Amino acid sequence: MSSPAAAAARSRLVEDLVGSRYVQDPRVREAFLRVPRELFVPEPSRRDAYVDVPLPIGWGQTISAPSMIAIMLEEATVRSGERVLEVGSGSGYHAALLSCLAGPANVVTIERIPDLAARARQNLAQAGFEAVEVVVGDGSLGHPSRAPYDIILATAGAPRIPEPWAAQLAPAGRIVAPVGPRLHEQILLVARRRPDGTLEVREGTPCAFVPLVGAKAWPKPD
């Protein structure tokens, strides 16, 4: 897909997301318009980069549908200058959107599959988001070296919110994460840290994410 065609397809998708009210915040709309999703989607799915569906990104993982990403970004209400940890880098696309909202140096994303992390790094660089840090590791443990975070956003589903995430939140920090039974039956939880360190949790939309595999999540599949 040529670049002007991609830009046109991108803007059509974004207007659809606005029309269906998945996107309400003008800053989220701006972010979707800025990030070229086609650069994060491998062949042969690239021609579907601007269809509102999840797409395979290799290693058995998927990039979420744009409408699902929009729901998460709207729930997270990311402000400029906030520190963000994304758990589950995958293609790097969601991290690029987060960096438009928070500022590129404020976003770190963690991925357990080293080859995918390398791909995410490459995609982010190609799209001009090289300031986003991609680390390899078990994000169910958070990423203590850059804590505290104003936002921890997970794009893989855990059985419950891992305790290290709450511990790594700044005062009034938020967690947006799919939680529920393994087989793609989760609820998007939106949690906020109270002054006493406990979480106030609200249930958002039902959703279907790949499992979060780690010490504080699901055991390794084999």
The residues assigned a catalytic role are 64
Taking CB under 6 A as the criterion, the residue among 113, 127, 175, 190 binding ligand SAH is 113
Taking CB under 6 A as the criterion, the residue among 88, 142, 164, 180 binding ligand SAH is 88
Identify the sign of the CA torsion 185, 121, 18, 176.
Answer: positive
| Window of 1-9, 107-115, 186-194, 198-206 that interacts with ligand SAH by CB under 6 A | 107-115
| Window of 24-32, 70-78, 91-99, 200-208 that interacts with ligand SAH by CB under 6 A | 91-99
Angle at 187 between CA 64 and CA 137, to 5 degrees: 60
By CB under 6 A, residue 164 contacts ligand SAH: no
Taking CB under 6 A as the criterion, the residue among 91, 99, 168, 186 binding ligand SAH is 91
Smallest separation (angstroms) from ligand SAH to the CB of 94:
3
160 close to 199: Cβ distance less than 8 angstroms: no
Residue 186, judged by CB atoms within 10 A of its CB (0-12, 13-18, 19+), counts as buried
Q: Which residue's CB is nearer to ligand SAH, number 53 or number 172? A: 53
Residue 59 identity = W
Taking CB under 6 A as the criterion, the residue among 49, 78, 85, 90 binding ligand SAH is 90
**3-class secondary-structure state, position 47:** helix
Which of 150, 125, 149, 121 lies closest to 134, judged by CA?
A: 121
**CB within 8 Å of 4: residues ≥ 6 apart:** none
Instruction: Count the site residues for ligand SAH by CB under 6 A.
Output: 26
Cα 2 to its chain centre, rounded Å, is 26
Taking CB under 6 A as the criterion, the residue among 99, 106, 140, 168 binding ligand SAH is 140
Would you give the binding string for ligand SAH spanning residues 182-221, x where CB under 6 A is met? ----------------------------x-xxx--x----
Q: Which helix (H) or strand (E) holds 8?
A: helix 3-19
**How many CA atoms lie within 13 Å of 33's alpha carbon, on the beta-carbon side?**
14
By CB under 6 A, residue 93 contacts ligand SAH: yes
Taking CB under 6 A as the criterion, the residue among 14, 28, 49, 63 binding ligand SAH is 63
By CB under 6 A, residue 155 contacts ligand SAH: yes
How many other C-beta atoms lie within 10 A of the C-beta of residue 198?
A: 10
Give the Cα separation of 115 and 36 in Å (integer): 21
User: Which residues would be at the binding site for ligand SAH (CB under 6 A)?
Assistant: 57, 61-64, 87-88, 90-91, 93-94, 110-113, 116, 138-140, 155-156, 210, 212-214, 217
